Amino acid sequence: MKKEYHQLSVEETLHSLNTSTLGLYLDEIEKRLQQYGQNTLIAQKKTSLFQKFIAQFKDLMIIILLVAALIAAFAGDISDALIIFLVIFLNAAFGVFQEAKAENAIDALKEMTTPSSKVKRNKQIKTVKSIDLVPGDIILLEAGDIIPADVRFISTSSLQVEEATLTGESVPVNKNTNIIKGIDIPLGDRKNIGYMNTNVTYGTAEAVVISTGMNTEVGHIASMINSVNQTITPLQKSIIHLSKMLSILVLAIALLVFIIGILADRASVLEMLLTSISLAVAAIPEGLPAIVTITLALGTQTMARRHALIRKLPAVETLGTTEIIASDKTGTLTQNKMTVEKIYQNDELTDAITTKMGINNLMRAMILANDSKKSQDGLIGDPTETALIQYHLTQSNFVSQIEQEFPRIASLPFDSERKLMSAIVQKDKQPILFIKGAVDELLQRTTRIEKKGKIIQLSDEDKKHILKVNHELAHKALRVLGFAYRPLSATPTSLSSDLLEQDLIFVGMVGMIDPERPEVRDAVTQARLAGIRPLMITGDHKDTATAIAIRLGILDTSQKDAVITGSELDRLSSAELNSSIEKYSVFARVAPEHKVRIVKAWQSKGKIVAMTGDGVNDAPALKTADIGVGMGITGTEVSKNASDIILADDNFATIIVAVKEGRKVFANIQKAIQYLLSANLGEVLTLFFMTMFGWDIFAPAQILWINLVTDTFPAIALGIEKPEKTIMKKKPRGAKSSFFSDGVLSSITYQGILEGVLTLGVYWIAIKYPFHTSNSLIHADALTMAFATLGLIQLFHAFNSKSIRHSIFNKELFSNKAFNWSILISGVLLSATIFIPSFNDIFKVTPLAPIQWLIVLLSSLLMLVVVEIVKYLQRMYSK
């Protein structure tokens, strides 16, 4: 079996790549460029704006509406046909506008790559374009560089590389050239390998390029992004399901009425065709796609004000169905900023935030044994070292004073083998060595300890106590550094660790951590109350991940077996992972492909999964999840462009705000659908039975006018209703829910029947107790009263629809100003057809007498009363 590069020695690596430490020659470079191609990432072919626009018309509901528009035109109502076409066009244009930012994640990956690199070629050091690098090139790296390709280090000096965007590990990794045994080694543990687009934070190195372009680990992620299919959201599934139901309804009713009419010889073929057309128009809620789009758009505006930016409209509603939030740890749950949390000195362990240290040798060691530097943008350097300086900048103003008082004259850089770093400073010509490093290594070189300003011999008991505290802090996921010092008799002429880093005086320890965001624990609690299960996915070690998860409330202390590592995941087949996935809440030491497997495993359980992340490594999982949530501040462009939602403030708590808004959006769309379909069912039943009874039926123009006037404005206004108080105390609806869940279908049915019965009842009353003696006027009045009743019933029913279950009188009935105006405007437009004489002929209606209007109003109000009674009985029954 061929060994991987981390298993090979430096010599074996160079030999396998047919290169040397002197670098490649020009003729060989040209051959390899032909063989491997440029060191760049290949983007997936993008669709044009025109293709995106055309794709909007592939939706079944849009097709139905196009047919409805043609039907309206065929019925002779060109103006209404044009209105429907306009609604369809605006809906498509809005969808394209929201999704115009095509998947440019690969472009973002390209932009992250450093434009040039220092390379050895023809035995000379040159600066070349990074896209021209080939396997076998020898490159030179130093602090501040971005690694331009995947490399095997051939020499290092105190090298540290920050790999959080790839592995998720928050602390820079110490790199070396040692051989690493084993095949299935996580990326974060391959200490002799560097990866494209990761950052050198400390030290220098010489490395040989082993992979370029799409063959790198980042290229592997790019391939995963390209291969991931976009998930259909629950909202889209619900609309597709609704479209199919309406299609069947439209065809069945229209065909049934046409056949019955012809068989019963009720009218000519053309007249029955027009009747069937009227029924088809009545069955289709023309404004539904526009109402869904507008409601979603209003939701995006609300969420934008709360720092959640929506890239794709359906994502607003999808958040409301979320059952699982799988969150990356570094930068999302935590601050991605090392912070001093614990101080150990004088045999006491204290909280750093409450410790007033004062000037002592522990403070001096923290400040002086430190290579971080100040700049206009803040502190630059290793995050651990900058955390030490930042602590003292926050606590006091002594940093500059100490640095000036103890100027550095030499240093021994950090070494991954001895795990120590020393600085030699002097005061009044007296040289002093200050040192920091791993506690166990430091204690091996320590003979004395300083306690409250007194220096005494370091006893075995002291050592045991120090190691015990060190272990306790490490177990709580803190990174622990020990500090010591040693006065020197003279300025050293040789910087030897064996000579200088001995006979040390121990002064204390510091425990540091990448702390959790302060708002996250409350957000986790809120998520649990809302029936959402939070998960943590990280590249950190198992102990660190467990400790952070306990601090956040994702785990409790009895759930430590709910943690699984990436290597353990590799040993599970897809079937085994799918069956056991519900056992785990924390996933540690994971690679990008693990995240995708985790998301898919939860999806196999029928769960709606939201994945949050900020790094390159998160992008495939963000696309695979039902909804991807990227971080706006710390997030890479790759993660942002792979996301459906971006958190502008990187605040985990904003996700819960977005979930609430998503639930509100669904509830409001559900109210609008109940209102629209019950109204349209009432229209269909009215027309159907008018046909069966041999009565005059509504003209297509009357049906279209009722639909356009009463459907559009009130339904849109229902889309901006305030959320009900219990909305975040309910469990998520889940993947199998639809707009007809929770008794909505039965409500649509009985309310539609009620509308039909009341309208037909008014028609019957008008015929039974006529206001005129002329038979033609009697039928004209009856049809006009039925027309007015059907329209007003729907406006009163809009008030019923403000809450599916609760009484409207328990809410602020008139608090929604947009709703109030919509009812008023719709009522005026409906009444205008009867009150304005010039409209009477157009809409085939007659003026009504006051007594006729009274019958219409009382019958319409009955809709409000009956539905309120039914909702009251439903609430009593549910209790």
pLDDT at residue number 390: 92
User: Tell me: the pLDDT tens digits for 454-474?
Assistant: 999 999 999 999 999 999 998
pLDDT beyond 90 at 772: no
pLDDT beyond 50 at 639: yes
User: Do residues 601 and 581 lie in contact, with contact meaning Cβ atoms separated by under 8 Å?
Assistant: yes
Catalytic option among 80, 145, 150, 328? 328
Interval 758-777 mean pLDDT: 87
Strand, helix or coil at 803? coil
Q: Quick one: pLDDT band at residue 105, thresholds 50, 70, 90?
A: very low
pLDDT at residue number 233: 54
Q: Quick one: pLDDT band at residue 102, thresholds 50, 70, 90?
A: very low
pLDDT at residue number 123: 81
pLDDT at residue number 64: 60
Query: Tokens 């992972």 — which residue?
Result: 577
Specify the higher pLDDT residue, 84 or 604: 604
Where do the domains of the chain lie? 5-43+107-227, 234-305+660-878, 318-335+517-656, 342-512
User: What percentage of the chain exceeds 70 in pLDDT?
Assistant: 84
Distance CA 470, CA 479 (A): 9
Which of the listed ranges 38-42, 552-556, 645-649, 783-787 does the model predict with the highest average pLDDT?
783-787
Q: Quick one: pLDDT band at residue 282, thresholds 50, 70, 90?
A: low
pLDDT beyond 60 at 99: no
pLDDT beyond 50 at 635: yes
User: Tell me: the pLDDT tens digits for 109-135?
Assistant: 344 444 778 899 988 888 888 889 999
pLDDT at residue number 106: 35
Least confident of 95-109, 392-406, 499-513: 95-109
Pick the CATH number of 5-43+107-227 from 3.40.50.300, 3.90.180.10, 2.70.150.10, 1.10.760.10: 2.70.150.10
User: Which superfamily does 342-512 belong to?
Assistant: Calcium-transporting ATPase, cytoplasmic domain N (3.40.1110.10)
Distance CA 680, CA 755 (A): 9
Pick the CATH number of 234-305+660-878 from 1.10.4100.10, 3.90.1150.170, 1.10.10.10, 1.20.1110.10: 1.20.1110.10
Interval 321-330 mean pLDDT: 86
Q: Quick one: pLDDT band at residue 162, thresholds 50, 70, 90?
A: confident
In order, the DSSP letters of 137-185 are -EEEEETTPBP-SEEEEEEEEEEEEE-HHHH--SSPEE--------SS-
Distance CA 173, CA 93 (A): 48
User: What percentage of the chain exceeds 90 in pLDDT?
Assistant: 34
Domain 318-335+517-656 fold is Rossmann fold (3.40.50)
Who contacts 493 (Cβ-Cβ below 8 Å, separation ≥6)? none
pLDDT at residue number 114: 47
User: Tell me: the pLDDT tens digits for 493-509?
Assistant: 888 898 999 999 999 99
Interval 613-618 mean pLDDT: 72
In order, the DSSP letters of 594-658 are HHHHHHHHHHHTT--EEEEE-SGGGHHHHHHSSEEEEESSS--HHHHHT-SEEETT--HHHHHHH
Specify the higher pLDDT residue, 15 or 618: 15
pLDDT at residue number 450: 96
Q: Is residue 328 flagged as an active site residue?
A: yes
First to last CA, the chain: 68
pLDDT at residue number 349: 94
Distance CA 751, CA 679 (A): 8
Q: With DSSP H G I counted as helix, E B as strand and the rest as coil, what are the percentages for the chain, rounded to 5? A: 55, 15, 30
Distance CA 619, CA 814 (A): 45
Specify the higher pLDDT residue, 653 or 10: 10
Distance CA 756, CA 762 (A): 10
User: Do residues 283 and 243 lie in contact, with contact meaning Cβ atoms separated by under 8 Å?
Assistant: no
pLDDT at residue number 468: 95
User: Tell me: the pLDDT tens digits for 26-61?
Assistant: 889 999 999 998 888 775 555 666 776 777 676 655
Specify the higher pLDDT residue, 163 or 423: 423
Who contacts 256 (Cβ-Cβ below 8 Å, separation ≥6)? none
Distance CA 133, CA 135 (A): 7
User: Tell me: the pLDDT tens digits for 203-237?
Assistant: 889 999 999 988 888 888 777 665 555 555 556 56
pLDDT at residue number 278: 62
Interval 527-533 mean pLDDT: 92
pLDDT at residue number 239: 64
pLDDT beyond 90 at 704: no
Q: What values do phi and psi take at 118, rounded to 5? A: -85, 130
pLDDT beyond 60 at 87: no
pLDDT beyond 70 at 313: no
Q: If you average pLDDT over every residue of the chain, what do you get?
A: 83
Least confident of 179-193, 452-466, 526-540: 179-193
Interval 773-793 mean pLDDT: 88
pLDDT at residue number 236: 57
Distance CA 684, CA 687 (A): 5
pLDDT at residue number 61: 53
